[in-house]
Amino acid sequence: MQGEVDWVLNDEKTLVSIPTDTPWETVFTLATLYGASHVLGILPAISQIEQRLHRAVQKLSIPLLAIPPQQIQAIPALLEQIPIGGIILPFANLAEVQSLCRGTRLYYQAYLGPRDMPTTPIGEVYLEVHTLPGIVALFQCETLAHRKKNEFHQSLGVEPLMPIRAQGTCVCGKEIVHYE
């Protein structure tokens, strides 16, 4: 259909294999929570993270916008043209991107590796810890993101590769784990 985007991704026609295991659920949980019509991914050129993000936004039928960390200076120009609701990015780039986006209402989904320790972020930031790029081991619900402590929920079926300690139950009903 001319002029329409075909969101049906056909695995047989793709040049690179698309991971179909563990979907990146937090991408669509947050985009849905904030009613985002567009999200931007800042994605290093590492194994298959872009394909995982593509799968996640495809489920919401929203376009995938992705740039590498080397191009984050282009974000203000993108924000002027596209109604971006949230930015998915490595935690290492968070402070710089937040300073570029000052004055714009956005949520940030910042991911860390299993050996990285987060510092306390400012603003509408959801932290998550990935065991492999796009494979979420620990994530934050709205309550934990706003509480700004080193507290997470654990993804079902993903083995955390980092030391964690259970620490009670969240108002959302899930168990809280502390990442040490």
Binding site residues, Zn ion, CB under 5 A? 141, 143, 170, 172
Residue among 143 and 150 whose Cβ is closer to Zn ion: 143
User: Please, what is the minimum distance in Å from the beta carbon of residue 171 to Zn ion?
Assistant: 6
Residue among 93 and 143 whose Cβ is closer to Zn ion: 143
Give dist(CA 4, CA 75) in Å, integer: 26
User: Please, what is the minimum distance in Å from the beta carbon of residue 47 to Zn ion?
Assistant: 29
User: Please, what is the minimum distance in Å from the beta carbon of residue 172 to Zn ion?
Assistant: 3
User: Please, what is the minimum distance in Å from the beta carbon of residue 109 to Zn ion?
Assistant: 15
Residue among 59 and 147 whose Cβ is closer to Zn ion: 147
Give dist(CA 15, CA 11) in Å, integer: 9
Contact 31, 57 (CB under 8 A): yes
H helix intervals, 61-162: 75-81, 94-100, 142-147
Residue among 94 and 141 whose Cβ is closer to Zn ion: 141
User: Please, what is the minimum distance in Å from the beta carbon of residue 38 to Zn ion?
Assistant: 26
Rg (CA), the chain: 16
Give dist(CA 6, CA 80) in Å, integer: 26
Residue among 38 and 147 whose Cβ is closer to Zn ion: 147
What's the burial of 157, exposed, middle or buried (CB within 10 Å: 0-12/13-18/19+)?
exposed
What letter represents residue 131's amino acid?
T
3-class SS of residue 11: helix
